[in-house]
Structure 1
Amino acid sequence: MSEKILLIDGHSILNRAFYGLPDLTNAEGRHTGAVYGFLNIMFRILEEEKPEYLTVAFDLSAPTFRHKRYEAYKGTRKPMPEELREQVPLIKEMLSAMGINIMSLEGYEADDLLGTVARRSEAKGMDVTILSGDRDLLQLATDKVLIRLPKTVRGKTTVENYHTAEVLEKYQVTPPQIIELKALMGDSSDNIPGIPGVGEKTATKMIVQFGSIENAHEHLEEVKPNKAKESLREHYDLAQLSKELATINTDSPLEFSYEKAKVENPYTPEAYELCKRLEFKNMLNRFDPATTADSSMELEFFTCNDLSGVEALFEKAAQKDQVGISVLADPDQVYTVGLVLDEKEIYQIPVGGLLTGDYLCGKLKALADSTVLCAMDIKSVLKHVSLDDPKKVFDAGVAAYLLNPLKSSYSHDDIAREYLDGMMLPSKEDLLGKTSLKKAWEEELEWLGNYACYQAFVPCMARKVLLEKLDETGMRKVYDEIELPLVFTLDSMEKWGISVKGEELKSYGEKLKVRIQELEKTIWQEAGEEFNINSPKQLGVILFEKLGLPGGKKTKTGYSTAADILDKLAPDYAIVKDILEYRQLTKLKSTYADGLGNVIGEDGRIHSTFNQTITATGRISSTDPNLQNIPVRMELGRLIRKVFVPEEGFVFLDADYSQIELRVLAHMSGDEKLIQAYREAEDIHRLTASQVFHVPLDEVTSLQRRNAKAVNFGIVYGISSFGLSQDLSITRKEAAAYIEKYFETYPKIKGFLDGLVKDGKEHGYVTTMFGRRRPVPELRSSNFMQRSFGERVAMNSPIQGTAADIIKIAMNHVYERMKKEGLRSRLVLQVHDELLIETKKEEIEEVSRILEEEMKGAADLAVELDVDMHQGDSWYEAK
């Protein structure tokens, strides 16, 4: 069996990955998506081809001979987008770290090098595979040279394969004649001009008939159609230049070593560290753990597992200004505690014997009286250690989140790499894989203790630099006064949970089931047949083929039945309206009616998890279950709130900010008209309608008010004329006119929003009223759609983020006031701008006063914050 060499067209595959896959950025703000996509394609082809040799070819930045010939004809190549350009040295660094051979040669394009090595290898009797996104390379195909062309559609990559036979079948010409085709029809992506008026079909017919451009020119009178004949007559010199440009040089003076191109194990320790730095977490499992030992292993850990030793250790820790701690535990059991005094004294304390979880957590609580406890995630510590003073703790995860809210996680290894001079530490996955904490503890795996040590080491060592960064960025106050106290507020909410009537939940599920079955029968009747409504493929056929509804967009898998398409059809077609209701109700049943029943605790309450390091704007989210996303547009959706009830002797008080984001916009923009409207307690949407549509206030119709409301809230979210036209079912021109009139009505708002975009472009981020930063890297993108998205983010993030800051401040103050005044009432839920208090009946008046004072006093705005408050014996009644 012949040896095989795989040749990769570096720039071409990087370019294909850049345009075919979503962009990624790492913690350093570097674009990495093209590199990630390149590696995925390369690994896939390596696994399929299993070659003995591998080389990646790159163009050099200096002009090649073919460049120069082209530039003599017309201009220069289109410049590479900066986001892609910066990834070229990165992929070369990665390939070098993997020990993969790279080839470049001044004066020659990568195509020429690929062609040269392909011909040399073929002459040696080897099988050759060339991986490229450039169809020019099809001219190199033979029975021994395979050209593989990746094709990415909607994030999925397939590969087309071409030997001589496949080229003939697809293009009706031989591989060498691909040059003739290119010369006639041109290729703008490769700067091959071609000749005017000749497309692919005409070029193919010409070459099939005459074999070459020269022969076609010799038989010019036989060329058809006349347009092509005259073009070839007039531009024959251009066709010859194009042929020269399209011809790959297969005899370049490249010095090539097969020895250096031998395939070795690419999963080296150097490549592993680079993958970690670039945050390619999905690739790390490709590496053999035996090869990934890194600098972190130089850290020395100590085990302390006797009572007297632990007592002495905690006494010593109490003398320090700060210590690092970690508590590895499940909800009902502590397994190991990590304790770090400094970079040399790193301890793991496993639970066992007299060293019980309660004992160790008690020692940590006492330690907080004399020193600052630094942890990766203080909220997880609070589940086992009863602390109550935010000034005595440091949360590295929250600090890192503030400094870069665009990341998806804030793990100890990420923070070490970013803030501890690039220190490379093993992640939790590296240490434990998919092994649970409980199993690791039962099997006495040493890596469990190591993980506890790393979890305590990083926050202790990174505290100083993280606080310095918060000071530098002006976010120290946000950390100290909003986010850190919020950890304690959220912990209290999670511990209390919210009571649920299990039987009513079942009854609610039955109501949904009845309505779903009714809708199913109605939809089948409207369709004229039974089909699977949950199948997009079957639904698409029914709607757009059988019923002939307009707007059908056919894809490879069938018609799209996405919500945005069906929403446009719903007003005119009853079946579509019923399908949308059916979808909502089935989701409501599976996610809430059925799903909530599975998460009711032994105490009859649901204990959701509130996340403060997830959203880029600073909003809180909830998971397990998500109680912030219950559909409330339809009555059946709202009814689920009836199953959430207060404890015996309590009622629910629900307080909701009224139009907080519009009020924030009024304050931050300083627009006098909008401020005045709020001060005069006007109906802001009616007033906007009156001024935008030039009608007296008392003559504003409900439709005009609704449209003005859409504009008011749309402006907050940076809506475009296209987006508004979709929302209101009007033309784009009408929507643009609405927006223009709005800005005429409130002139300072336009200047304010434009200023946010300008600041975002200049600084790379925008800020809330309280100084929270939101990076907007999209503003510097060369891609129009990305930049437009960035502009919307720059406009709405300061407004949304300020509103989020205000609700957090209110939550913290309400929680602290109730605790300070010794009330039995408790904050149990936050949903965007709404707070739900489980209120002792005797404390209703006092809690109402606290909510009113603290929510209205959370921020000093030019317009008063308004709070709607209701009470009831269920969340439904209180809302």
Structure 2
Amino acid sequence: MSQAPLVLVDGSSYLYRAFHALPPLTTSKGMPTGAVKGVLNMLKSLRKQYPDSPFAVVFDAKGGTFRDDMYAEYKANRPSMPDEMRVQIEPLHASVIALGFPLLCVEGVEADDVIGTLARSSAAADRPVVISTGDKDMAQLVDGHITLVNTMTGSTLDVEGVKEKFGVSPEQIIDYLALMGDSSDNIPGVPGIGPKTASGLLVGVNGGLTELYAQLDIVPTLPIRGAKNLPAKLEEHREMAFLSYQLATIKIDVPLDIGLDDLHLKQPDAEKLIELYTELEFKSWIADVERDAKRAGQVIAQEAPAAPTQEQDYVTILDQATFDVWLKKLNDAKLIAVDTETTGLDAQKAQLVGLSFAVKPGEAAYIPLTHSYMGVPEQLDRDTVLRALKPLLEDPTKAKVGQHAKFDINILANCAIGGDQANGIVVQGVAFDTMLESYVLDSTATRHDMDSLALKYLGHTTTSFQDIAGKGVKQLTFDQISLEQAGPYAAEDADVTLRLHHALHEKLQAIPSLNAVLTGIEMPLVPVLARIERQGALVDAKLLGVQSVELGDKMVALEREAFEIAGEEFNLGSPKQLGVILYEKLGLPIISKTAKGQPSTAEAVLAELAEQDFPLPKVLMQYRSMSKLKSTYTDRLPEQINPRTGRIHTSYHQAVTATGRLSSSDPNLQNIPIRTAEGRRIRQAFVAPKGYKLLAADYSQIELRIMAHLAKDEGLLHAFRNDLDVHSATAAEVFGVDLSDVTTDQRRSAKAINFGLIYGMSAFGLAKQIGVDRKQSQAYIDRYFARYPGVLEYMERTRTQAAEQGYVETIFGRRLYLPDINAKNPALRKGAERTAINAPMQGTAADIIKKAMVAVDNWLTASGLDARVILQVHDELVLEVREDLVDQVRDEIRVHMSEAATLEVPLVVEVGVGNNWDEAH
């Protein structure tokens, strides 16, 4: 049996590559962590790949090396390490050690030299070696025993691989580097000699530098471009070439205090890892560590949790007497936590399996109703239990708390007591939702699922669903899980929900403005969204089918057009084939490359090429647009029609976006494109039932109005108060013309300026959008600020406040924290500043539409009118209204939506009516 290879990891190489190649990641306190996470991910992957191998993770030590003594300019032109990278070194080293990897830093030499020494000594003992690195210098070490692996790209280099990649053998790599030099390390090499010339010279003389300089007379005969001039150049730089050889040579005789027997992996230090991952906010990894430690039988000493815990008193209720005792407890408790267990996650299709309750921390119960596995104990009668619980759950004076309570509200509304679909439980009195409490407290600090919140605020790792149900295709539904496992799991859900509420409620009470957002905006919206989701929207599946066929025909025609332009057939969905056609055959300019160095065919790149009037990218953009519409909407929407209701039921999410805006999924109705005719046609498939109309009510230019309110700029205030076309008014100011003389192009440019400034658009971005040079666009922006000085003052004031306090607020007090607002990295800081300027507008718009939804729902409920909200998209509400009530509802909804907030300028609501959504909008 062959030995497991020694795995040597070039930690310094991966630190640099992870820092520059991966998206920046920071903690809520602004500490950069992206490079740490990237390197640790790579190490975990290697550990799985080589479970029986000895390991060493090698980093450069602080201070200079012998190469600096040899050549003072060595690495002199390498920029100093960014502060954002430097602060990650210490936690990375600590995490590597805590994971059980031997870590080496040897003073006076580089990581390469330590790796070279260990690799060659291991190879001499006939042990295979894998060096994990992205550094080409390491290719000199490759031999029959030593292989390079680039874990970030998945590529491997053996002897033949080195020859194929560099054109020379591993034995010639040092000579190759000496000739061509290395700008990153400031190894000089011979000026003017690049990779092809270097490999050509070495292959031509069948040797290295010594053989080359001994045969300079044959160099002019070699099949190398400019070969006649090379002997003189080589002679002139002979000394520098041999110095470069010494600099590029990896030492293989570094004195080390450890041997191969010392390089075995250790058991991870769970306590230290939890401490480090907590500081780094790698929350999902903490749960993994705790589970692994539990499986290994380790006991982890934890700090006291943020909220008090009692001994767990969990009950699974299977008899009437116990149920009666708990029913009294529920009625006597001031606040109860409620949770449902179901057969799935689609609230409109899933079936209720059981309910759990908690009356105080540590005291919870699960009532199983429909578990159906072989040998399941007898359970209480489902309908009897639900009828007994119905008065309690429907009592608006009985305060309840849930985690993502909207799901439980919908499940219980659809529970069909006695088989009557109309006879569900209309839950009332949901006073708190821990998901929303966390979200309002800080939308960006953590995920808002129960497992993440329990770990963050209670120091508690919950039992995951996968722990009891399994994974993948063999995963059980909850009704198939034994009560011995299901009972404690479900009771824990209710218990943790109650404990989380106590921890989060205290934090929110300390910040009254945030508590007001929770109680005045988010919680009242929960039952409203639940009703909208249950109502659903009527969709014409036949019309969508016709549209799918038409889109398919257009895609075929576009595919043929693409083949004609390319001069051959190819797979339009293959980035590799597309890259060959675009860049090798058609010779289009390479705008950007992938992480693996290949010319990119991403949508943004194709869009830029299309703007430059290259025909194939234009066709490809159209093809991709049609394909997305077809696969995401016209093909998919008919499949998402609920067979019970005949409608589509999207799910709205309150705790996803950082700014407070709602999002939707299954299907996502927020992203249906409306700028193309094909996209608008999809809205035509959302139809009114017979005898009804669809009414769409949309706030007009709400974010610009909020800008006027926040900036208190007299020019903008005047335009909105006098019901002027704000884009024309801006054009008149910026271009210095009378309002009546504003042209269509001027208005279009002014509109781009108005909205561009809200989203932090630069002069370069504006120039690109309106088709002028950067100097002209900057002049427009300068003139805009001169005419609207209040806007500039608002922006500068907001940047300053954000930097000082670390967050910005909406008009209603919602906060958006900005961890990068004081980052030393200019790109991160500028991005945070743009967010700081935009978030109060976007967040206030989100708050206003939420308040409007609650007001409209209250009005419709109180009036008893045959009308209901069926969709919410951005700043728009779509209602289904009985035909004879359209005029009344149109007038009333304008009032309720426009009064949702009081600003310095009026809120204008535009209302349209039609037989389908497109007509109404």
Confirm or deny: 8 A CA contact 1:671 1:749 kept in the other structure.
Answer: yes
Give, as a single letter, the amino acid of the residue that structure 1 aligns with 2:438. Answer: A
Taking the aligned partners of 1:114 and 1:382, their CA distance within structure 2 comes to 60
Stretches of structure 1 that go unaligned for 5 or more consecutive residues are: none
Taking the aligned partners of 1:548 and 1:214, their CA distance within structure 2 comes to 41
Q: Deviations over 1:358-393 (max 9, x none)?
A: 724852761665653222111011113468788642
Query: How far apart are 1:513 and its partner, in Å?
Result: 5.4
Number of aligned residues: 868
Structure 1 residues 755 and 196: CA distance shift in structure 2, 3 A: farther
Give, as a single letter, the amino acid of the residue that structure 2 aligns with 1:600. Answer: I
Structure 1 residues 302 and 195: CA distance shift in structure 2, 3 A: farther
Structure 1, 606-615 or 638-647: larger mean CA deviation = 638-647
1:303 correspondence with 2:307? no
Confirm or deny: 8 A CA contact 1:26 1:279 kept in the other structure.
Answer: no
Q: Which residue number corresponds to residue 599 of structure 1? A: 640
Q: What are the residue-to-residue correspondences of 1:141-160 with 2, within 5 Å?
A: 141-150=142-151, 152=152, 157-160=153-156
Q: Which residue number corresponds to residue 373 of structure 2? A: none
Structure 1 residues 438 and 197: CA distance shift in structure 2, 3 A: closer
Taking the aligned partners of 1:96 and 1:121, their CA distance within structure 2 comes to 22
Query: How far apart are 1:866 and its partner, in Å?
Result: 0.8
Q: Deviations over 1:665-708 (max 9, x none)?
A: 11112211111111121111112122212222222211221122
Q: Deviations over 1:553-606 (max 9, x none)?
A: 898877737366347637967887666555444433433333221222232222
Q: Which residue number corresponds to residue 369 of structure 2? A: 351
Stretches of structure 2 that go unaligned for 5 or more consecutive residues are: 220-228, 303-308, 344-348, 371-378, 414-424
1:384 correspondence with 2:414? no
Q: What are the residue-to-residue correspondences of 1:472-871 with 2, within 5 Å?
A: 472=510, 474-509=513-548, 512=551, 560=601, 562=603, 565-566=606-607, 569=610, 580-601=621-642, 602-781=644-823, 783-871=825-913
SS of corresponding position for 1:318 = helix
Query: How far apart are 1:549 and its partner, in Å?
Result: 7.6
Q: Which residue number corresponds to residue 374 of structure 1? A: 401
1:278 correspondence with 2:300? no
Taking the aligned partners of 2:744 and 2:903, their CA distance within structure 1 comes to 30
Taking the aligned partners of 1:220 and 1:543, their CA distance within structure 2 comes to 42
Q: Deviations over 1:822-853 (max 9, x none)?
A: 33321111111111122234544543343122
SS of corresponding position for 2:633 = helix
Under a length normalisation based on structure 1, what TM-score does the superposition of the two structures give? 0.86
Structure 1 residues 414 and 191: CA distance shift in structure 2, 3 A: farther
Query: How far apart are 1:460 and its partner, in Å?
Result: 0.9
Taking the aligned partners of 2:29 and 2:356, their CA distance within structure 1 comes to 29
The structure 1 residue matched to 2:157, chosen from 157, 161, 165, is: 161
Taking the aligned partners of 1:686 and 1:478, their CA distance within structure 2 comes to 36
Structure 1 residues 476 and 357: CA distance shift in structure 2, 3 A: farther
Under a length normalisation based on structure 2, what TM-score does the superposition of the two structures give? 0.82
Confirm or deny: 8 A CA contact 1:596 1:625 kept in the other structure.
Answer: yes
1:417 correspondence with 2:455? yes
The structure 1 residue matched to 2:465, chosen from 417, 425, 428, is: 428
Taking the aligned partners of 1:510 and 1:169, their CA distance within structure 2 comes to 48
Taking the aligned partners of 1:17 and 1:795, their CA distance within structure 2 comes to 30
Structure 1 residues 293 and 117: CA distance shift in structure 2, 3 A: closer
Structure 1 residues 359 and 389: CA distance shift in structure 2, 3 A: closer
Structure 1 residues 640 and 72: CA distance shift in structure 2, 3 A: closer
Q: Deviations over 1:413-460 (max 9, x none)?
A: 20011111x322333334433379973323426443333233212221
Confirm or deny: 8 A CA contact 2:287 2:461 kept in the other structure.
Answer: no
Taking the aligned partners of 1:846 and 1:788, their CA distance within structure 2 comes to 48
Confirm or deny: 8 A CA contact 1:269 1:291 kept in the other structure.
Answer: no
Taking the aligned partners of 1:273 and 1:497, their CA distance within structure 2 comes to 46
Q: Which residue number corresponds to residue 375 of structure 2? A: none
Structure 1 residues 490 and 721: CA distance shift in structure 2, 3 A: same
Q: Deviations over 1:34-84 (max 9, x none)?
A: 334324433444455565311212334465565687779897974433443
Taking the aligned partners of 2:877 and 2:498, their CA distance within structure 1 comes to 34
Structure 1, 635-644 or 700-709: larger mean CA deviation = 635-644
Structure 1 residues 67 and 306: CA distance shift in structure 2, 3 A: farther
Taking the aligned partners of 2:193 and 2:588, their CA distance within structure 1 comes to 39
Confirm or deny: 8 A CA contact 1:551 1:565 kept in the other structure.
Answer: no
Q: Which residue number corresponds to residue 92 of structure 2? A: 91
Give, as a single letter, the amino acid of the residue that structure 2 aligns with 1:657. Answer: Y
Q: Which residue number corresponds to residue 42 of structure 2? A: 41
Query: How far apart are 1:147 and its partner, in Å?
Result: 3.7
Structure 1 residues 554 and 777: CA distance shift in structure 2, 3 A: closer
Query: How far apart are 1:742 and its partner, in Å?
Result: 2.2
Q: What are the residue-to-residue correspondences of 1:3-14 with 2, within 5 Å?
A: 4-14=5-15
Confirm or deny: 8 A CA contact 1:537 1:559 kept in the other structure.
Answer: no
Confirm or deny: 8 A CA contact 1:167 1:175 kept in the other structure.
Answer: yes
Taking the aligned partners of 1:136 and 1:563, their CA distance within structure 2 comes to 34
Structure 1, 530-539 or 333-342: larger mean CA deviation = 530-539
Confirm or deny: 8 A CA contact 2:447 2:453 kept in the other structure.
Answer: no
Confirm or deny: 8 A CA contact 1:9 1:130 kept in the other structure.
Answer: yes
Confirm or deny: 8 A CA contact 1:32 1:278 kept in the other structure.
Answer: no
SS of corresponding position for 1:613 = coil
SS of corresponding position for 2:720 = helix
Q: Which residue number corresponds to residue 337 of structure 1? A: 355
Structure 1 residues 79 and 334: CA distance shift in structure 2, 3 A: same
Give, as a single letter, the amino acid of the residue that structure 1 aligns with 2:867. Answer: S
Query: How far apart are 1:630 and its partner, in Å?
Result: 2.3
Confirm or deny: 8 A CA contact 2:694 2:913 kept in the other structure.
Answer: yes
Q: Deviations over 1:707-731 (max 9, x none)?
A: 2212212222211233223323333
Query: How far apart are 1:196 and its partner, in Å?
Result: 7.2
SS of corresponding position for 1:499 = coil
Q: Which residue number corresponds to residue 18 of structure 2? A: 17
The structure 2 residue matched to 1:256, chosen from 258, 283, 286, is: 258
Q: Which residue number corresponds to residue 225 of structure 2? A: none
Give, as a single letter, the amino acid of the residue that structure 2 aligns with 1:643. Answer: A
Confirm or deny: 8 A CA contact 1:412 1:454 kept in the other structure.
Answer: no
1:398 correspondence with 2:436? yes
SS of corresponding position for 1:498 = coil
Taking the aligned partners of 1:72 and 1:504, their CA distance within structure 2 comes to 71
Q: Deviations over 1:467-512 (max 9, x none)?
A: 2333455422111111111111111100111223344444554555
Give, as a single letter, the amino acid of the residue that structure 2 aligns with 1:451. Answer: Y
Query: How far apart are 1:215 and its partner, in Å?
Result: 10
SS of corresponding position for 1:475 = helix
SS of corresponding position for 1:652 = strand
Confirm or deny: 8 A CA contact 1:361 1:385 kept in the other structure.
Answer: no
Confirm or deny: 8 A CA contact 1:289 1:430 kept in the other structure.
Answer: no
Q: Deviations over 1:733-791 (max 9, x none)?
A: 33333323322222222232233334444444333222222233444555554444334
Give, as a single letter, the amino acid of the residue that structure 2 aligns with 1:495. Answer: R
Query: How far apart are 1:811 and its partner, in Å?
Result: 1.0
Structure 1 residues 142 and 585: CA distance shift in structure 2, 3 A: closer
Confirm or deny: 8 A CA contact 1:657 1:866 kept in the other structure.
Answer: yes
Give percent identity, aligned residues only: 37
